[in-house]
Structures are given as structure tokens and as C-alpha cells.
């Protein structure tokens, strides 16, 4: 069975994930790639994900999932939690 997805499917999935659909394109060896913008991370620009994975996502933005956090951002989060638990404690 060959699943054929339309642009409406891509738009609907972006809407479901609260993302702004920008477009799609084909890429060698990966198939359809969805281009979108996360409203919370507009400053990061257009993000792209392979449709083969994207259509199963519950969170589409890599920044919202924490995938692209820097070491300093992670340390700041840890410090915030530690400071909340033990006032004055920092890494």
C-alpha cells in the first residue's frame, strides 16, 4: 500500500502541532521534508523535518523539546532547580 500525502496533510499536521507551515520539498534519500516555523522560536528561523518522522511527532519544534539546548542553557536550568530546592546552591 502506497501512502500518498498531500500538502493539506502537511498543513494539518503543522496546525495540530501549533506550527506555521512554510512549505515542503523533496530530498534525496529522505523523501519529503516539511519546512515550518515555531511561533515560540521565530528567532531560530525555518526548521525542517523529514515527513517520515514528522507525521508521528507530538512536538515538532526541536527547541521546544530541548534537543538544541546549549550546555550553558542546561546549566542555567539546573542552577534554577537547585536554587529552588536549596537556596544559594549553584554549580
**Strand runs (DSSP E) across the chain, as ranges?**
20-27, 31-37, 47-50
Give the pLDDT confidence of 19-62 residue by residue, as tens digits: 999 999 999 998 999 999 999 999 999 999 999 999 999 888 99
Average pLDDT over residues 77-91: 71
Give the pLDDT confidence of 7-30 residue by residue, as tens digits: 999 999 999 999 999 999 999 998
The band of 88, judged by pLDDT with boundaries at 50, 70 and 90, is low
45 φ/ψ angles, rounded to the nearest 5 degrees: 85, -160
Amino acid at each position: 500500500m502506497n501512502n500518498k500525502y498531500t500538502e493539506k496533510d502537511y498543513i494539518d499536521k503543522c496546525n495540530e502541532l501549533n506550527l506555521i507551515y512554510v512549505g515542503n520539498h523533496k530530498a534525496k534519500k529522505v523523501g519529503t521534508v516539511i519546512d515550518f516555523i515555531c511561533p515560540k522560536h521565530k528567532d531560530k528561523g525555518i526548521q525542517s523535518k523529514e515527513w517520515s518522522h514528522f507525521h508521528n511527532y507530538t512536538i515538532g519544534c526541536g527547541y521546544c523539546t530541548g534537543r538544541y539546548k546549549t550546555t550553558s542553557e542546561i546549566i542555567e536550568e539546573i542552577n534554577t532547580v537547585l536554587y529552588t530546592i536549596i537556596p544559594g546552591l549553584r554549580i
